[in-house]
């Protein structure tokens, strides 16, 4: 049995049945990280000793009859945007290179309380700003399917680590597609919950009205298991909704009879990779064969989504990143003349180029004389985009579309063209703007052997329907469980 290649579900069953031990599987994964992550660069911090201590503790608890559930003793990873007490939290930036938080994020604590073994912190685009994990201060992550290509971003380290079996799953964040797009490019399952379903407390902020934490896993069932653990209200996050959290694994059936699936015509964009379009159309036929009624729908304001996002997100980033001033914590420039000089040099030296670009975009959009023309107008368009989805969900139960218009591109291919890079998320951004749940899962391989994904979107707080459609497709498509050649 090759332990690193297990799913969370299978590992949990074997651990519960005492057929394998948490220490055994943790050691196997740490060994694999040591052997191949030097090339892939999926981790910023590997918690070798700490992970083994957690595994030993889980093993003793289970031996004494204190089994906590399906994550007890299961090794997973965290995107380095979630703080964990006494563990470095860099957010992929020089600005936080030496930051050691004194407390843990709600997501982190829920996983620890469930008995999960935290292997380490995954690489990411700096402050989650990017679509390729090339903006990380700690170097780019490589796609395990082709190491000349990007894994997507900003949760590229989490997606690549999951695909390469360097963890059994990871938790990332999705602001404009940062879970689903890398999941598509790396051939894994990536799920963004409804905005407010998972606490953002202790999750380093990029754009507060868009950010949401979610799982990256090998299967839809694993995604449901992780969401069961991290979802739920939290009084420390005022945007986190106090709504009942169902057992999402109960929605995993293969029967789609009575389900209406909408296909938005606007999501089949000009310039889309023909392999991606063919894969999506084949996926639609699989859903039809499973009993789903296929309905063509229109989301007419989709064309404004990228423009809207790149006003709202940078504006919120401009506000959120103002706290990194060299005074309280994080990087501080040396050899400065006065306070203002220290501010300027700290931010000039501590932030990378993409982060500076977005701070300037956001500051401009919020400045006097431009607020109404840009930021306020973007909020109005956001409402129109959400209304498109509201109308669509009066006719259908779920929406299915390609996740990314292309497969993984070459490292360095788009770094000199920000607009081209931003368009990588053209199909994922509307979901964030409307606050919907969405999941990307493998739907094929391109003619060059690169993964392709489709996404399933559902009504707010209806993750159950989303999981039902995704699981039914996964079980009948034949694309689940494909491994990269690492």
Residues annotated as catalytic (active site), given as ranges: 79, 154, 178
Quickly list H helices, 367-434: 377-392, 418-422, 429-434
Q: Find, among 267, 288, 272, the residue nearest to 392 by Cα.
A: 267
| CA–CA separation, 68 and 309 (whole Å) | 40
| CA–CA separation, 162 and 45 (whole Å) | 16
Q: Taking the mean position of all CA atoms in its chain, how far away is CA 227?
A: 12
| CA–CA separation, 22 and 53 (whole Å) | 10
Q: Find, among 155, 111, 450, 412, the residue nearest to 273 by Cα.
A: 450
Q: Are strands 189-192 and 213-217 parallel, antiparallel or unpaired?
A: antiparallel
Q: Walk across the sheet containing 451-458 and list its strands.
A: 43-46, 117-122, 75-79, 169-173, 213-217, 189-192, 438-445, 451-458, 398-402, 260-264, 293-297
Token output for 402: 């390609």
Is-cis flag, bond preceding 154, omega within 30?
yes
Instruction: Tell me the DSSP string of 215-279.
Output: EEESSHHHHHHHHHHHBS--TT-TTS-------GGGG--S--TT-EEEEEGGGS-TT--HHHHHH
| CA–CA separation, 271 and 80 (whole Å) | 33
| CA–CA separation, 319 and 10 (whole Å) | 43
| CA–CA separation, 36 and 30 (whole Å) | 10
- Non-local CB neighbours of 139 within 8 Å, separated by 6+ positions: 41, 123
């Amino acid at each position: 049995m090759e332990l690193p290649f297990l799913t969370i579900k299978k590992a949990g069953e074997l651990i519960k049945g005492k057929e394998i031990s948490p220490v055994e599987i943790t050691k196997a994964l740490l060994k694999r990280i040591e052997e191949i992550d030097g090339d892939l660069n999926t981790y910023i911090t590997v918690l070798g000793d700490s992970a083994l201590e957690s595994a030993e503790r889980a093993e003793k608890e289970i031996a004494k009859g204190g089994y906590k559930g399906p994550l007890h003793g299961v090794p997973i990873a965290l995107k380095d945007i979630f703080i964990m007490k006494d563990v470095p939290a860099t957010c992929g930036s020089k600005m936080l290179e030496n930051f050691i938080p004194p407390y843990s994020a709600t997501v982190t604590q829920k996983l620890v309380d469930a008995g999960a073994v935290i292997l380490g912190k995954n690489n990411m685009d700096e402050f989650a700003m990017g679509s390729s994990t090339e903006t990380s201060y700690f170097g780019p992550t490589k796609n395990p399917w082709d190491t000349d290509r990007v894994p997507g971003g900003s949760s590229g380290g989490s997606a690549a680590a999951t695909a390469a079996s360097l963890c059994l799953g990871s938790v990332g964040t999705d602001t404009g597609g940062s879970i689903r797009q890398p999941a598509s490019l790396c051939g894994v399952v990536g799920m963004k919950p409804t905005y407010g379903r998972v606490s953002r407390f202790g999750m380093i902020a990029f754009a507060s009205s868009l950010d949401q934490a979610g799982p990256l896993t090998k299967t839809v069932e694993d995604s449901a298991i992780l969401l069961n653990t991290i979802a739920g209200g939290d009084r420390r996050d005022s945007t986190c909704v106090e709504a009942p959290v169902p057992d999402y694994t109960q929605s995993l059936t293969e029967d789609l009879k009575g389900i209406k699936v909408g296909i938005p015509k606007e999501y089949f964009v000009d310039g889309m990779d023909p392999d991606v379009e063919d894969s999506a159309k084949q996926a639609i036929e699989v859903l039809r064969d499973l009993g789903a009624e296929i309905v063509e729908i229109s989301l007419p304001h989709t064309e404004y989504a990228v423009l809207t996002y790149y006003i709202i997100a940078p504006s919120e980033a401009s506000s959120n990143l103002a706290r990194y001033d060299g005074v309280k914590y994080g990087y501080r420039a040396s050899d400065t003349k006065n306070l203002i000089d220290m501010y300027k040099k700290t931010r000039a030296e501590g932030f990378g180029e993409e982060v500076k670009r977005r701070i300037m975009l956001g500051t401009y959009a919020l400045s006097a004389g431009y607020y109404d023309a840009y930021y306020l107008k973007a909020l109005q368009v956001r409402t129109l985009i959400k209304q498109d989805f509201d109308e669509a969900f009066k006719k259908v139960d779920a929406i299915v579309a390609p996740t990314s218009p292309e497969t993984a591109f070459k490292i360095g291919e788009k770094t000199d063209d920000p607009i081209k890079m931003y368009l990588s998320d053209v199909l994922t951004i509307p979901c964030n703007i409307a606050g919907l749940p969405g999941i990307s899962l493998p739907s094929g391989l391109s003619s060059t052997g690169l993964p392709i994904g489709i996404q399933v979107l559902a009504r707010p707080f209806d993750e159950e329907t989303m999981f039902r459609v995704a699981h039914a497709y996964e079980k009948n498509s034949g694309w689940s469980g494909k491994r990269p050649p690492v």
